[in-house]
Structures are given as structure tokens and as C-alpha cells.
Amino acid sequence: MKPTLIVLAVLVAAVLIVFSLFRDPISFALMRFSLEPGASFAASTPPQAPDYANEAHWAALPWREDNADLTPEGVTDAQASAPVDVFFIHPTTYYTSDSWNQPLDHPQANEFTDEQVLPNQAGVFNSCCRVFAPRYRQATLYAFFDEGTDGAAAIDFAYEDIKTAFEHYLETYSAGRPFIIAGHSQGALHAGRLLRDYITGTDLAARLVAAYPVGFNVSTANGIAVCTEPAQTGCQVSWNTMRQGVARMGAKADDICVNPLTWSTDEAHAPHEANLGAVSFSSGAKVEVGAADARCHLGTLEVSEVRSDNYPTESFGDGNYHIYDFSLFHMNIRANAQQRVDRYLAEQIAYEG
């Protein structure tokens, strides 16, 4: 073989080895590059603002048939009689370089929200609570990796819609009822800010049953205490799920980790037997008891083994269970939300009596 061909062969082999070893980071970098909007945020025309009096601008409403009504076998949707509401903020479902923020009528993003997020995340609360989930001009996925100012501007822009939706909920739908604030990923970021801006130090704090801002870097900087007991109210829980031994990108020392199998902040391992059931509506909504164990460690929720083929981790890299933060612990979250609602209502009766 000629020297030039030998060198070329060695280089090709080296590239293949590197790609094999760092497949996920490389794929992630390529994905980021492909999603970068072509114009700056300032030079972009913002999508039309939502009108939350228009029911089409809500992904879920309790009196309307939608996928937040879906339940696993043996579970009942009780929204018609639920005494508590949940204001749920969906995660990023806008994966495009077309613009920094989603137009409300974007079909692919809305389909992802409706078909995947509503049943697998928002619907976990439909036994205890009426589900309100606004559509909003969410920031595109790239905004969270942008190293300039455009990404932050897009995220702030999205949060303005969340504030408007929450104010509409309070003024039009709430009627003074107690509520849960919940969200995932980008939705958890907005939920944390909502807690800081609308709940901490205000009269609304007395109506907060609990908060579930899951799948983002959430700390007590928003002024809400961490839930350390399963039935505690007026507090918040959060976690970010990874396979044991896999580092979590962007992890922070003060990230909240509440174990959704024990509802404790300690680092004790909860075995598979503590898992009441994982649920994936993409795989038939079967309740898979004992599907995952869990342990909080340095602010991350670690899973040593998922005993199901329904939760592959290719989306954000091998060992990253981000998209299953709710699904892996579905039945535990459902039971816990009811437990906190029951405690809150009992405390209100005792107080008023």
C-alpha cells in the first residue's frame, strides 16, 4: 500500500474510532449546528401573541377532551370533580431553526406536545386536579445552547406568555381554588420563575399545594422550600434523571433532587420494588411496576437499571433519561400529587374549623 493511502487509512480509522467513542457528543454538536436560527433574535419578527381567552391557545383544559385526560389501565380521570387545579408548562417541543420562538400554529410542535407531553407528563395529575396547560411561544431548543444573548432573549420572550397565561388562569378559571404548578425542562425553568414572581411572598402562596418543576436546574433561589416529606405542602420537588455513572451536562451544586420513589432529599437508594409503575403512552400505557430504582446523588437522580425496553436513551445521549423524568415514576408521582392534595385540603378544613 502506498504511503499516502496508509496515512489516509489511518486517518479514516482514527475518525471512526473517535466517532465511535464520542458518538453522542458529536451527534449533539451536529444537532445544535443544524438548529441555529439564521437571524438574530432582534432581527426576527416575533410570532403572533396568544389570546388565552381563545381555547385553541391551550393544549389542555379540564372541560375539553384532550390527551391530558388519558390514564393508564385501572386509573380514573377525575378532573370533573377535582377540587384542585394544576397549571402545567410543557417542555421544549420546537426543534427547528426557522425562528427563535414557536408560532402558536406550528403543527409539528403542537402534535409533539399533544401526543407525547400531555399524556406522559401533564396527565399524571388528572386524578387529583383539573389540568390547565397553555400553548406558548416557546424558545427553540437551540436557545438553551446559544452562547450569545439571543437564546436568553428567546427564553425571556417565552416566559412572558407563561405569565400572561397564568394571569388569565387566575382571573378567569381559578375562582380562588388551590393549585399545583408543574412543568418539565423548559417548562420547569418557566415554572421556577413563576414561583419566584407570583407565589413567593404573596397571598397566592397560601393556595399553592406544591410545585413540580422537573427536569431543569431548579434551586431554592425562587423562594420556595424543598419538599422533604411525601405529604408536605407549599413546597417544591425536582429531579433530573440519569443512568448511574453518567455525568449530567450543566449540573449545578445547588440543584434540588427529591427522589420520586421516597419523596426524600437524602441519598438513600430506593429499590425497584418501591416503583409503583412506569408508564409510556407511546408503548401502550402499560403500568410497569418496578421499572426503575432511584437514588439522589450530588443533585442528580441516578438510576442503576431500567427494567423495560420502553425507555431508550438515544435522544439526549446514552444514559440520559431526561425525556422520561415523569414516565419512569408515573404512578409514584400520581399517588404523591393526590397525597399532597389530601393533606392540603385536610389542613384547610382544620384551619377553617
Residue 223 falls inside a structural domain: yes
Residue 263 falls inside a structural domain: yes
Q: Position 191: which residue type?
A: A
**Whole-Å CA distances, 55 to 52, 62, 168, 230:** 7, 11, 12, 34
pLDDT at 13 over 50: no
Give the count of domains, the chain: 1
pLDDT at 107 over 80: yes
pLDDT at 10 over 90: no
Confidence of residue 315 (pLDDT cuts 50, 70, 90): confident
Rounded Cα–Cα distance for residues 147 and 191 (Å)? 23
**pTM of this structure:** 0.91
Residue 307 falls inside a structural domain: yes
Residue 101 falls inside a structural domain: yes
Confidence of residue 22 (pLDDT cuts 50, 70, 90): very low
Mean pLDDT score across all residues of the chain: 91
Q: pLDDT tens digit string along 164-198?
A: 999 999 999 999 999 999 999 999 999 999 999 99
Mean pLDDT in residue range 141-154: 96
Confidence of residue 348 (pLDDT cuts 50, 70, 90): confident
Q: Quote the pLDDT of residue 32.
A: 62
Q: Quote the pLDDT of residue 249.
A: 87
Rounded Cα–Cα distance for residues 119 and 135 (Å)? 15
pLDDT at 320 over 80: yes
pLDDT at 1 over 90: no
Confidence of residue 272 (pLDDT cuts 50, 70, 90): very high
Mean pLDDT in residue range 156-163: 98
Residue 64 falls inside a structural domain: yes
Percent of the chain predicted with pLDDT > 70: 89
Q: Is the model more confident about 20 or about 55?
A: 55
Residue 279 falls inside a structural domain: yes
Confidence of residue 16 (pLDDT cuts 50, 70, 90): very low
Which residue range forms the structural domain that includes residue 305? 39-352
Q: Which of 332, 268, 320 is nearest to 127 (CA)?
A: 332
Residue 340 falls inside a structural domain: yes
Residue 117 falls inside a structural domain: yes
Q: How many residues are there in the chain?
A: 353
